[in-house]
A and B are shown apart, each in its own frame.
Chain A
Amino acid sequence: MNTTPPPTTGGIPEPGKLTITTCRTCGLSSQLTRGFCPGCGGRDLVRDGVAATGTVVAATVVHRAAGEGPLGPPPFALVLVALDRPFANRLMAVAPRPLAIGTPVHVGPLGAAAAAPYLAIPEPDGDPAPSAS
Chain B
Amino acid sequence: MSGPRPAFVVGAGLTPFGDRAPRTTLDLMADAAEAALADAHLSRGDVDGLLVGYSTTFPHLMLSTAFAEHFGLAPRYGHGIQLGGATGLAMVAAARHLVAAGASDTVLVVAGENRRTGASVDTVLSTLAQVGDPVHEVPNGANVPAYYALLAARYLHDHGLSERDLAGLAVLMRAHAARYPGAHFHEPVTVADVMASRPIATPLKRLDCCPISDGAAAIVVSAEPAAVPVRIAGTGQGHTHQSLSHAPDDVARGARLSAASAFEEAGVTSDDVGLAGVYDSFTVTLAMLLEATGLSRAGRAPVDVSDGRYAADGRVPLNLHGGLLGYGHPGVAGGMAHAVEVFRQMAGRSPLGSLAPADVALIHADGGVLSSHVSVVLKRDP
Minimum Cβ distance to chain A for residue B127 (Å): 9
Whether A64 contacts B140 by the Cβ 8 Å rule is: no
Minimum Cβ distance to chain A for residue B239 (Å): 15
A-facing residues in B246-304 (Cβ within 8 Å): 246-247
Whether A78 contacts B141 by the Cβ 8 Å rule is: yes
A-facing residues in B128-185 (Cβ within 8 Å): 129, 132-137, 139-143, 145-146, 149-154, 156-157, 160-162
- When each residue 70-102 of chain A gets 1 if its CB lies under 8 Å from chain B and 0 otherwise, what string results? 100011101110000000111111100010010
List of A residues within 8 angstroms of B123 by Cβ? 66
Chain A: interface residue total (CB-CB under 8 A): 39
List of A residues within 8 angstroms of B150 by Cβ? 58-60, 78-80, 92
Whether B162 contacts A69 by the Cβ 8 Å rule is: no
List of B residues within 8 angstroms of A133 by Cβ? 153, 156-157, 160-162, 203
Whether B245 contacts A89 by the Cβ 8 Å rule is: yes
Shortest Cβ distance from B199 into A: residue: A63
Is the CB of B201 closer than 8 A to any CB of chain A? yes
List of B residues within 8 angstroms of A88 by Cβ? 246
Contact of A63 among B142, B160, B200 (CB under 8 A): B200
Is the CB of B190 closer than 8 A to any CB of chain A? no
Chain B: interface residue total (CB-CB under 8 A): 40
Minimum Cβ distance to chain B for residue A118 (Å): 6
Whether A115 contacts B154 by the Cβ 8 Å rule is: no
List of A residues within 8 angstroms of B146 by Cβ? 60, 62, 65, 78
Chain A contact residues, CB within 8 Å of chain B: 31-32, 57-70, 74-76, 78-80, 88-94, 98, 101, 114-118, 131-133
Selected A-B contacts with CB under 8 Å, 17 pairs: A58-B154, A60-B152, A60-B201, A65-B146, A69-B141, A78-B140, A78-B141, A80-B154, A90-B244, A90-B245, A92-B132, A92-B136, A92-B140, A93-B140, A133-B153, A133-B160, A133-B203
Chain B contact residues, CB within 8 Å of chain A: 122-123, 125-126, 129, 132-137, 139-143, 145-146, 149-154, 156-157, 160-162, 198-204, 244-247
